[in-house]
Structure 1
């Protein structure tokens, strides 16, 4: 008896080649059937798919704001101020919807503190309205409160007193420098005045920063305010259409293979009857 030398790997390869040959010989049926299924599937997706629109903005975010922006402290006021409070009466469900639809990017450039935020909804106006409410909460969070505000006010008062003293010293040095024009003493006064002027400029910048910090972010500080989208988001629709196309081809290929298998069995049975 002659032993078969066909390995399992070669047997699997032959089986695969046989199936590919079946698909190639039924190419016309495969293409036409797939096209018909795709057309049917696409029409169902496009008719039943709800379009989504994404509003976006670019805004500076502190680490504190990033930590709480997807918590109830921010989400709940947004829910109460928009249609989401009506569409989703249960607060937990509304929070989940907001968390899922709000997308926060990585920092746009290292050290900039700027982030891109986008929110998707069923209409352009709703998407923009919700993102505007997020912006309002971000602005509110940027203002120091409680002990942080008290500490900032104390720093401001201390800086104002320091600036008053520095300017008084600068005025006195200027007066002495005018009396001692030329010579070593005049040069000493001039150098001291340069140091004082530089120190005053630094303190004034710090004071300006602290005073602006008390007011928090303002609308003019927002590089890109919430946009009103004109076109729907393509990602969700394209994903569904891709799934339909792949599924249609696989289904039609399966139908062709099953048809060939049944035809082969029928021929075999007729041969032995």
Structure 2
């Protein structure tokens, strides 16, 4: 998510990851269930499952948890169907928001998301109304105060990264979607671990809010969306105020 500065952005990602570890695992488990139903439980022959496992490892999910999630997904594979849906809408001040959901009940999820936007934002829009404001990128965050910026940059560029920024012992690396898997795997092979590593929708421009009521409502909208079990990811172009 776009913040006021790179370091503020990285801090938010770390805090979100630390604070929502269980929820992240639940969401990854749902992705695994869909992949296994479509292509089977063997990651050697199921490329989508293989990528989800790599994503889980990049987000520091223990191997035992991954194995349990796969077994549970196999056991539950005939019980429900999940559908991938992307909602687009506006927060206060014209802030663009994209919501990626994975749901077994379209009506429930649509009603929930619409309610959040109506209460704390400006409302849902038609498909395509805000997606043109974002670029699809691979984004990885590494925090390692023991490494120098030069060493980290050399390793990232050697791995094929598109862009690199370093602030206060943390780096944000971006790639094209097509190169994301290869760059992530190359950095993992070099021993790096990630604060976060996933495909993201990165905003081309950002929007600021100045009054406290709008800021509070926008924060509430994002919290409500991210706390919903059906919601996998939330992307926006709010230039969030700095946090101390």
TM bin, normalised by shorter chain, reads under 0.3
Larger RCO, structures 1/2 (Cα 8 Å, 6+ apart): 1
Larger helix share, 1 or 2: 1
Larger strand share, 1 or 2: 2
Q: TM-score, normalising length from structure 2? A: 0.23
CA radius of gyration, larger in = 1
